Structure 1
């Protein structure tokens, strides 16, 4: 779905289930994965502007169990520069996702996996995308706002923007609101730790239809919590992208600080992908991508030229290891601007 000053263009392709006949539609609900992080980051920034915490606060002020927490700031959690280990990269979690896909995880269980593991680097000394950062931020938001995270999101993000087809489901919920598209992946979670690309012979079988993907639609997403549990539609994601970048959720000074926070994830390569306070940059577009087994989402907006783009797919990753929605989005952006952007991996 593309919106420019010349109007809206939308295109759907394929069906909602393998072997089915129901065409994909713009009102299909899908899991948006790490796009959820933009909600969590916005909530934290709203709490900052309400004076309930500061970006420079050490995480130890709110969580005494975080190693080196006296030297890790709230801002470093937001920008993925804390060095805290990503629980999503552990054998323990991925094995559990494969063997008990309906398991309901609590955020404290997720944090407990990560905190005993060694840091990637010292606070502020590098960039590493870590779901642990965002889960910690969600727990801090609950502590300061005195509500469950789902209610916080409804009060602070969904209702103000009028996102009626968007939700943060209960942890026990493994279903999707109707209508929805089923989500598929050829691999299992453990395999994706080493590579998301199938061997050449299996790619050929996937392409000719002799290898069937696995259905991950109803795998419980609670293992992502504030880092990826959201559900939405293409239309609502368009509204979300505009709300995030056009300052509809933050006061002007903090909105500017957020937009200015984007920095190269590789400081030795100024042209590299950029990430800031729970916001990524893809060339001239600002937004986020998201991936859960079976679903890939791209959401981006160029506020200067009034361009908004949302792409989602119900297969992720593709047999050749690419993120299909991001790959499609890059091609569209390349056609619009004459160059295809890079972007950080945001599973």
Structure 2
């Protein structure tokens, strides 16, 4: 049933490559795959392929930050001026960056940024260049007064982590996710040269049909950074999300802080009700789910956890605009029917 649901979702989007994973209450993990890794040659997507997870990266970044909170290296109430050189850094706290209440403008909404990405597909962005896009711009609102999603918040958190630890974001991720937890197919930039990566496709630009974006990989992954640049697989993502919510990664009081939410309706994610510290709270078919969604040009993802009964669902596709909530909901209905 689960395999058939993934296959149907792929076929509805002209054989979009979809990789899925479901973890049920006893820890059993189901893996599924459908569609094409390369739509030009009709090469099938496999369990071995890696895909970019877009803003599901934020869940990973937030967890890395909360680990530093747990160690006492920083506090959620700390202002970020000690680590970040921005004129308003003394008014913005770590918590505000994590839950998008900082008011920091979104660098990916800047027309110059988009133009440069299109014009220079091989550009390797440095994190400070992303900050320079918003440097000198006014805050969108008073820090802490409301919620507005901004990728800039997580670029700043990535830089904060690097300043705090002396390690690169990719090294921090690898040391924690691969070396410590054993989810060894999750990377930021440091993936092996021979890692199979599914080609990237987009259908949203100027209604020109499906266009391959694989040539833009370098500029897309480096410009997404700690906000959206992680490369992974559905089983790795589901396993990581499950390990966080199971309490294997963070102490109970720290996880409780991570699950402190603000009202956050989102016109781009219509199933969202609240936002925590790197956690979207979605309501799909009446069920409360916690995790994150992700969209980066060429890829789309969703990773969600349900508390009781316990199950975790992750889906990644190699087209920018898969129906994240629809696919998650379809898998959820089968999980509830078959396992609970």
Bucket of the pairwise TM-score, normalised by the shorter protein: 0.7 to 0.9
- Determine if the alignment matches structure 1 residue 301 to structure 2 residue 302: no
- Counterpart CA distance in 2 for 1:88 and 1:331 is 31
8 A contact 1:217–1:294 mirrored in 2: no
Q: After TM superposition, give the deviation of residue 108 of structure 1 in Å.
A: 0.3
Query: SS in structure 1 opposite 2:155?
Result: helix
Q: How many residues in Structure 1 have an aligned counterpart in Structure 2?
A: 306
Summarize deviations over 1:266-315 as a string: whole Å, max 9, x none: 49xxx952211111122222111111111001111113312111111111
- Determine if the alignment matches structure 1 residue 43 to structure 2 residue 47: no
Structure-2 residue corresponding to 1:207: none
Q: After TM superposition, give the deviation of residue 29 of structure 1 in Å.
A: 0.5
Structure-2 residue corresponding to 1:249: 249
- Determine if the alignment matches structure 1 residue 144 to structure 2 residue 148: no
Out of 86, 100, 103, which is 1:66 matched to?
Answer: 86
8 A contact 1:288–1:299 mirrored in 2: yes
Out of 167, 174, 177, which is 1:154 matched to?
Answer: 174
Out of 190, 193, 198, which is 1:181 matched to?
Answer: 198
8 A contact 1:289–1:297 mirrored in 2: yes
Structure-2 residue corresponding to 1:343: none
Query: SS in structure 2 opposite 1:219?
Result: helix
Query: SS in structure 1 opposite 2:102?
Result: coil
Query: SS in structure 2 opposite 1:151?
Result: helix
Query: SS in structure 2 opposite 1:157?
Result: helix
Query: SS in structure 2 opposite 1:290?
Result: strand
8 A contact 2:187–2:231 mirrored in 1: yes
Structure-1 residue corresponding to 2:262: 263
Structure-2 residue corresponding to 1:113: 133
Structure-1 residue corresponding to 2:214: 216
Q: After TM superposition, give the deviation of residue 9 of structure 1 in Å.
A: 4.3
Summarize deviations over 1:137-174 as a string: whole Å, max 9, x none: 1111111111112111122333222111111115xx8x
- With normalisation by structure 1, the TM-score equals 0.81
Structure-1 residue corresponding to 2:36: 15
Higher-strand-fraction structure: 2
- Counterpart CA distance in 1 for 2:49 and 2:195 is 7
Out of 13, 25, 29, which is 2:50 matched to?
Answer: 29
Q: After TM superposition, give the deviation of residue 99 of structure 1 in Å.
A: 0.8
Q: After TM superposition, give the deviation of residue 26 of structure 1 in Å.
A: 2.5
Q: Is there any run of 5+ residues in structure 1 with no aligned partner, and where? A: 192-197, 203-210, 318-322, 339-347
8 A contact 1:182–1:217 mirrored in 2: no
8 A contact 2:243–2:249 mirrored in 1: yes
Summarize deviations over 1:96-155 as a string: whole Å, max 9, x none: 111111111000000010132222211111111111111111111111111112111122
Query: SS in structure 2 opposite 1:253?
Result: helix
Q: After TM superposition, give the deviation of residue 218 of structure 1 in Å.
A: 4.5
Summarize deviations over 1:154-195 as a string: whole Å, max 9, x none: 22333222111111115xx8x97533311101344xx6xxxx
**Compared CA separation, residues 95 and 3, structure 1 to 2 (3 A):** same
**Compared CA separation, residues 217 and 36, structure 1 to 2 (3 A):** farther
- Counterpart CA distance in 2 for 1:186 and 1:101 is 18
Structure-2 residue corresponding to 1:313: 317
Query: SS in structure 2 opposite 1:16?
Result: strand
Query: SS in structure 2 opposite 1:105?
Result: coil
- Counterpart CA distance in 1 for 2:200 and 2:329 is 22
